Amino acid sequence: MRRLSGLVFLATVLVSSLLSAQAGKGSQVFLAGGPDEGSDAPDFTLPWASQDTVGTDDEAYALWRDRGKVVVLAFYPRDFTKTDSVQLSTFRDRHEDIFGADVVVLGVSTDPLATHRRFAARLGLPFRLLSDPDQTVAAKYGSKDAGGTNRRTVYVIGPDGRVRWRDLRFQPNDPKSYEVLRRAVRAARRG
């Protein structure tokens, strides 16, 4: 009986290890789904909200309109969550240091525009939040999560429309993440 229990335990550990390994492989492949550094950033058009207003259909944000500027595209899971509030508040507090006035900063989640407006107003965000409810754009950028929210990723797109830098696992609670992002934005400005 003891031997059978030992075999059952060993089999359970083995199956669990195999499943974990498969899950890890799947997530690594998934992470590589967005555009690589040096490749063209996929164009898109999405509705937006700011702390003051909700853009009209005619005013939808289109990436191609910002050709010639550095664009920071930050995908995040949900408005009003602790970690997302930390990330976007840090973008607000360090806006001049990390980005500067000439950089277009955009947050992207699946939340509706009304929620984006309330969230942006509560945090006093100086940039627009884009609504991607079907995760169409998130899928193009390898940021779509199977659970219906975005994964936390950040892209820096150069004035030429090419991806200059990406972080597929941005860590909003790690100050190093913001420093690396700051350097990437500065490098994108220089071309």
Token digits of residue 63: 């990436």
Domains of the chain: 32-190 (3.40.30.10)
Q: For tokens 């400005």, what's the residue?
A: 189
Residues 6+ apart with CB under 8 A from 68: 159
The beta-strand segments (E) located in 15-103 are: 45-46, 48-49, 61-62, 71-75
Q: How far is residue 167's CA from residue 20's CA, in Å, rounded to a whole number?
A: 24
DSSP state of 63: G
Mind listing the pLDDT tens digit of every residue in the chain (191 residues)? 554 444 333 333 333 333 333 333 333 334 447 999 999 999 999 999 999 999 988 899 999 999 999 999 999 999 999 999 999 999 999 999 999 999 999 999 999 999 999 999 999 999 999 999 999 999 999 999 988 999 999 999 999 999 999 999 999 999 999 999 999 999 999 98
> What is the CB neighbour count within 10 angstroms for residue 70?
23
**pTM reported for the whole predicted model:** 0.83
